[in-house]
Structure 1
Amino acid sequence: MKINSAQAPNIAPAQFALFDMDGLLLDTEIIYTQVTQRIVGRFGKTFDWSLKGNMIGLPDTVSANYLVRALQLPISVEDYLHERDQLLRAKFPSCKAMPGAENLIRHLHNHHIPIAVATSSSREFFALKTSNHQDWFELFNIVVTGDDPDVKRGKPAPDIFNVAAKRLAASPQNTLVFEDAPSGLAAGIAAGMRVIVVPDPNMDKSRYRRAERILNSLKEFNPAEFGLPDG
């Protein structure tokens, strides 16, 4: 689904692509939801999209602090994260690929387009989530995680995309960012890049007005619209 008007002809063609991971390449959000509800349910609370929509894509400590405060949970942020992470570790290896994700990555790799993962996940969680998808995640030229020492601030700050672009030797005007979260959209725009978003169906689409394109899945992405190989 195209939301914005067609790009102007004077816009530089894309030569690099940076990808968020959770909810975009891998279907991990359902795991986060199940685990979070399991924890907050003990206190008679409900974790729904009125909360999750404000947490998705943010660094762990930021989103956890928001949740604990919003639901007035009788536990500390640290205790919540400790329990959550223990449960997540057991579930992450079972996560599935999102529709169109593997095909797009293989397509860009086969056409020698430099690509990078730029995820707020830690290096440990990245390894767990991708453990059953290594055959296509190893096609990425660069992986930057949220605990990378060069990433000083999490999304919506542009740091992680700036670091990934620097390591790819990419210029912002020639770089596409693929995201699912409003915070990731803001980070990509702050980095001076064009952003394609694939929001969860439950998200309010009005939060993505500044995106270059809003898609229902990565299957809808048309490389030729951005000067990328389409064969």
Structure 2
Amino acid sequence: MTTLKELRSASHVIFDLDGLILDTEKLYTIVANAILGQYGKSFNLETKLKVMGSTGLDMAKQVVELLEVPLSPEEYYEQVKKEYQTVMPEAQLLPGAAKLIEHLHSNNIPIAIATSSSQVTYDLKTQKHKELLSKFHHVVCGGSDAEVKNGKPAPDIFLVCASRFSEKPKPEDCLVLEDAPNGVEAALAAGMQTIMVPSVEVPKDIKDKAHVVVASLEQAPLELFGLPAIEKCRCKDS
């Protein structure tokens, strides 16, 4: 764990979805390469770091421009959505996600999700996990929510998400859990603290922007933010 900034207590927790709760980042790469391979292109790490956390059409615009794909953003995104129908329903939970969500919920800590996905895509990839995700107070789908005017790294989605809690906390009272550089930037722009859990190899200068960096949600140091600590398993291997 790396702690990089002075920390303060938080009362509400906002989760990203892709690459944090759900193991979808590898699925996005599979989809992108299935399409880009037709044009002799590949979805490299440099491109991935730039588009992670973007809404669907924003992602498509950046990919088409950065990789010089001979498609319009709309054409590329339509192909992406078609591939999602097959791939995304297989999305699995990442290590520690269920335990952390259940821990916060059982301790009556208000939690919500702020994802750049559209509602349609969110429903597609979460269909196997409805019971767990029902523990969240609300979900904001930035790709289709009319109140989210600008996608990450703009702060809009996190500010909208905070405003929909019953208690309407101030931004500085919110802790954001994110895996993507754009998501960390958005949380900081919103005036919120961040725990970064990188889902891909991320350069040090990007990690340095987060308040805390850990390798997985199992290591999330909630106690540093005045929240109930996750109980550590003391079980021996069988």
TM-score, normalised by the number of residues in structure 2 = 0.92
Task: Give the RMSD, CA atoms, in angstroms.
Answer: 1.3
Which residue matches 2:107? 111
Q: Counterpart amino acid of 2:180?
A: A
Which residue matches 1:229? 228
Consecutive unaligned residues in structure 1, runs of 5 or more: none
1:101 to 89, 97, 120: 97
1:149 maps onto 2:139 in alignment: no
CA distance in 2 between counterparts of 1:224 and 1:3 reads: 13
| Superposed displacement of residue 201, structure 1 | 3.6
Mapping 1:81-230, distance limit 5 Å: 81-146=77-142, 147-168=144-165, 169-230=168-229
| Superposed displacement of residue 171, structure 1 | 1.6
CA distance in 1 between counterparts of 2:224 and 2:198 reads: 20
| Superposed displacement of residue 75, structure 1 | 1.4
| Superposed displacement of residue 54, structure 1 | 1.0
Runs of 4+ displaced beyond 3 Å: none
Deviations 1:50-109 (A, max 9, x none): 211111111222221121122211111111110110111221110111111111000000
| Superposed displacement of residue 48, structure 1 | 1.3
CA distance in 1 between counterparts of 2:186 and 2:107 reads: 27
CA distance in 1 between counterparts of 2:151 and 2:200 reads: 24
SS in 1 for 2:83: helix
Deviates more, 1:43-52 or 1:113-122: 43-52
CA distance in 2 between counterparts of 1:222 and 1:207 reads: 20
- Are the aligned partners of 2:56 and 2:118 in contact in 1 as well (CA < 8 Å)? no
Consecutive unaligned residues in structure 2, runs of 5 or more: 232-238
- Are the aligned partners of 1:199 and 1:205 in contact in 2 as well (CA < 8 Å)? no
TM-score, normalised by the number of residues in structure 1 = 0.94
Q: 1:60 to 1:174 in 2, by over 3 A?
A: same
Alignment coverage as a number of residue pairs: 227
CA distance in 2 between counterparts of 1:185 and 1:170 reads: 19
CA distance in 1 between counterparts of 2:137 and 2:181 reads: 25
CA distance in 2 between counterparts of 1:36 and 1:42 reads: 10
